[in-house]
Amino acid sequence: MRIVLVGPPGAGKGTQAAFLAKNLSIPHISTGDLFRANISKQTELGKLAKSYMDKGELVPDEVTIAMAKDRMEQPDAEQGFLLDGFPRNVSQAEALDVTLQDESMNLDAVLDLEVPEDEVVKRIAGRRICRNDSAHVFHVTYKKPKQEGVCDACGGELYQRDDDSEETVRKRLEVYHTQTEPIIDYYKAQGLVVTISALGPVEEVTQRAMEALKREDDDK
Ligand code: AP5
């Protein structure tokens, strides 16, 4: 399956993507994680991305689209992928359509995670990420690590993302409403959007998502 995951910052896209990708045996491709990997390796792309991410703004389309395309062309993505954080505006969605059409492929579903803004703010404020692997995500209240500040999966140090400050989160939410939400209408016009509530325990949201994706697949 080829799936796009969409939702506001802190909706739980990364959290759900980890489970969904495993259940569906497809790679989880997160442009945010790819940028953070570049930042920790101090590449030129990482330096450029950081200057935008720290302000809560989108990294320019040209570099983002090239990076996402390169990742989607890796052998593990041949049979499908779960995109998290890409596309993030209508031009990226159009570029993705062109890339898929060139390969005679198409998207199967766009899974839209709905969460009220006050919950999103609580989720982001308590989020802690592992320095070794940004796919290892915890929360000081909702998903406590066994030992404070230490990753359960690999023992790495847990830290708070630079772009999780209150001011930057406010900007990221504004960018989400103005630039990312329009892709939901773009994909509704293609009949691809499945909206679920992302409230409740993580496992319940995963189950809701799997059922919604199955219904969408059966309807085709
Ligand atoms: P990115 O990394 O994509 O961040 P985001 O979209 O803002 O989303 P987050 O990672 O903040 O949240 P999430 O929805 O994954 O939530 P999570 O699962 O962690 O992008 C960062 C930046 O990179 C952008 O601002 C931009 O600058 C740049 N960028 C990335 N892609 C780009 C693109 N395509 N174009 C241009 N620029 C781009 O969950 C949050 C917390 O909640 C966690 O602590 C988790 O444990 C907890 N939680 C999750 N689910 C639940 C639940 N059900 N109940 C309780 N707690 C929960």
pLDDT tens digits along 58-97: 999 999 999 999 999 999 999 999 999 999 999 999 999 9
Listed in sequence order, the residues at least 6 apart from 206 whose beta carbon sits closer than 8 Å to its beta carbon are 16, 19, 20, 23
- As a whole number of angstroms, the distance between CA 183 and CA 139 comes to 29
Kindly state the helix (H) or strand (E) to which residue 110 belongs, with its residue range. Answer: strand 109-114
Kindly report the protein residue whose alpha carbon is nearest to atom 55 of ligand 1.
142
CA angle 17, 34, 79 (to 5 degrees): 55
Task: Kindly state if the Cβ of 27 falls inside 6 Å of ligand 1.
Answer: no
- As a whole number of angstroms, the distance between CA 131 and CA 125 comes to 17
Q: pLDDT tens, 94-142?
A: 999 999 999 999 999 999 999 999 999 999 999 999 998 888 999 999 9
Predicted pLDDT at 166: 86
pLDDT at 215 over 80: yes
Interval 38-53 mean pLDDT = 96
161 part of the active site: yes
Q: Which residue has the tokens 């980890």?
A: 18
87 and 95 Cβ atoms separated by less than 8 Å: yes
- As a whole number of angstroms, the distance between CA 35 and CA 33 comes to 5
Average pLDDT of the chain, as a whole number = 95
Predicted pLDDT at 91: 98
pLDDT at 155 over 80: yes
Ligand 1 atom with the smallest distance to the CA of 33 is 2
Burial class (CB in 10 A: 0-12, 13-18, 19+), 70: exposed
pTM of the model: 0.95
pLDDT at 36 over 80: yes
